[in-house]
Amino acid sequence: MLCVNVELKERSYPISIGEGLLQDASSYPLKSGDKVMIVSNPTVASYYLETVRKTLTTIGCSVESVLLPDGEKYKTLESLNLIFTALLKHNHGRDTTIIALGGGVIGDVAGFAAASYQRGVRFIQIPTTLLAQVDSSVGGKTAVNHELGKNMIGAFYQPSAVIIDTLTLNTLPKREVNAGLAEVIKYGTILDYPFFEWLEAHIDELVALNQESLKYCIARCCQIKADVVARDETEKGDRALLNLGHTFGHAIETHLGYGNWLHGEAVAVGSMMAAALSELLGDLSVEDVARLEKLFARANLPTVSPDAMQPEDYLPHMMRDKKVLAGKLRLVLLKSLGQAYVAADTDKELVLTAIRRCTQCD
Ligand code: NAD
Ligand code: GLY
């Protein structure tokens, strides 16, 4: 088993990464008599709920569960309320532990429930998508969507442990695996050139779900994220770097309607746009951009704008990004592969030129 620690003083916590951890009682920081509420959805529950329940029962925990409907469109206050209702019905007090068993949607909603139920209860993440294992389960961002905006209601609330069983990826649809790889590639691109090179050598193994490569890769991504979060927990500075490609990507997701393109697919194209812009600014070479494009393509990810979107469609969406300050666009760009920075007030014409470069018919 590999272990990464998120260092946040008294709120520090371990991330355990290994095969078969769901069945391993020693990977859960729980003891006999603990009360637990597992939050999941019917898809994930059909594969893994009984395994987790059985392990926790062996420890001597009393276990209840609540299933939320599956999908981003259910990342809502209504789903949050389903969790509160289940907790209250079963008399869970402040000493309860909420466990998120699922992808980023379940993790974000269950985390916000843990942050707010009786002003905060213990929280454990068991992420089951690659995206959740390398990104959303680590770092304490929790949220639900509002009809007027994604992730608009939430809290920073760290889990007390993250348990990553890499075997759960065997049941994940391939398209979701690939979408998770977009976030993996992001880490190497923004902060870790040696990891970028490692990905160039091992991306095919990751696509094929080779367990050894996956464990190394997930641990590396978690370590990079843990370091960033330890430096800047509430995104006053460096944490924004984790959003490479996200401002362009959110424009794609919003324009096409949530669910048409997966988040990771939109981030891949968005990262290509950020790379094109970095090339226009003289920081990346043509070869650097081609290397990034090849890596995304080998992970079966798109690298050009969707057909249904015109270059001019992007900017109105991008101006609503959380990073916009005083009406000025702030974008994560690249000084080189492995070195990102936040660019304040990038020229909009140049942004448009970069978007055009990543458009099919350009
Ligand atoms: P998701 O949670 O919707 O999961 C994708 C699909 O895979 C779902 O249908 C789910 O039921 C299914 N699934 C999950 N695990 C499975 C498994 N092992 N086998 C079979 N099917 C499985 O999507 P996601 O990509 O994991 O997460 C996206 C969400 O994460 C978004 O809401 C996004 O805002 C959030 N997010 C949060 C952070 C953060 O820091 N908190 C970071 C990135 C993304
Ligand atoms: N996924 C970006 C962050 O956690 O900050």
pLDDT confidence of residue 361: 56
Which residues partner with 39 through β-bridges?
66, 100
Is the domain of 325 the same as that of 248?
yes
Tell me, yes or no, if 263 is annotated catalytic.
Answer: yes
Is the domain of 229 the same as that of 323?
yes
- Residue 287: CATH number of its domain: 1.20.1090.10
Matching residue, tokens 């050894």: 212
Is the domain of 149 the same as that of 186?
no
Residue 49: count other Cβ atoms within 10 Å of its Cβ.
20
Is the domain of 249 the same as that of 130?
no
pLDDT confidence of residue 150: 81
The 10s digit of each residue's pLDDT in 147-186 is 877 888 999 999 999 999 999 999 999 999 999 999 999 9
50 exposure class (CB count in 10 Å sphere: 0-12, 13-18, 19+): exposed
Tell me, yes or no, if 250 is annotated catalytic.
Answer: yes
Tell me, yes or no, if 141 is annotated catalytic.
Answer: yes
Contact (Cβ atoms closer than 8 angstroms) between residue 284 and residue 277: no
Specify the range with the lowest mean pLDDT, choosing from 208-212, 279-283, 300-304, 319-323: 319-323
pLDDT above 90: percentage of residues in the chain: 90
Residues of the binding site for NAD(+): 70-75, 104-108, 128-129, 141, 150, 168-171
Q: Which amino acid is at 288?
A: D
The 10s digit of each residue's pLDDT in 260-270 is 899 999 999 99
Half-sphere exposure at residue 282, Cβ-oriented, CA atoms within 13 angstroms = 0
Tell me, yes or no, if 246 is annotated catalytic.
Answer: yes
Helix, strand, or coil (residue 14): strand
Tell me, yes or no, if 255 is annotated catalytic.
Answer: no
- Is residue 74 domain-resident? yes
Q: Which amino acid is at 65?
A: S
Give the distance (Å) from ligand 1 centre to CA of residue 71.
8
Q: Which of 183, 108, 118 is nearest to 151 (CA)?
A: 108
Is the domain of 240 the same as that of 110?
no
- Residue 78: CATH number of its domain: 3.40.50.1970
- Is residue 138 domain-resident? yes
- Is residue 159 domain-resident? yes
- Residue at which a domain ends, from 112, 136, 169: 169
Tell me, yes or no, if 300 is annotated catalytic.
Answer: no
Catalytic entry in 35, 250, 255, 330: 250
pTM over 0.85: yes
Nearest-atom number in ligand 2 for the CA of 228 is 5
Question: Domain limits at 80?
Answer: 2-169
Task: Report which protein residue has its CA nearest ligand 1's atom 5.
Answer: 103
Q: Is the CB of 139 under 6 A from ligand 2?
A: yes
Residue 70: count other Cβ atoms within 10 Å of its Cβ.
17
- Spatial separation of the C-alpha atoms in residues 83 and 87, rounded to whole Å: 6
- Residue at which a domain ends, from 107, 142, 169: 169
Is the domain of 289 the same as that of 202?
yes
Q: Which of 218, 13, 259 is nearest to 128 (CA)?
A: 218
Q: Is the CB of 270 under 6 A from ligand 2?
A: no
pLDDT confidence of residue 185: 98
Is the domain of 50 the same as that of 163?
yes
Specify the number of domains making up the chain: 2
Task: Report which protein residue has its CA nearest ligand 1's atom 4.
Answer: 103
- Spatial separation of the C-alpha atoms in residues 331 and 235, rounded to whole Å: 14
Contact (Cβ atoms closer than 8 angstroms) between residue 201 and residue 303: no
Contact (Cβ atoms closer than 8 angstroms) between residue 322 and residue 303: no
Is the domain of 33 the same as that of 111?
yes
Contact (Cβ atoms closer than 8 angstroms) between residue 126 and residue 52: yes
Catalytic entry in 178, 186, 220, 235: 235
Give the distance (Å) from ligand 1 centre to CA of residue 262.
10
Catalytic entry in 53, 225, 255, 330: 225
Is the domain of 98 the same as that of 244?
no
Half-sphere exposure at residue 64, Cβ-oriented, CA atoms within 13 angstroms = 16
The DSSP string of 293-320 is: HHHHHHTT---S--TT--GGGHHHHHTT
Is the domain of 207 the same as that of 304?
yes
- Is residue 59 domain-resident? yes
- Residue at which a domain ends, from 169, 192, 207: 169
Is the domain of 84 the same as that of 206?
no
The CA radius of gyration of the chain, in Å to the nearest whole number, is 20
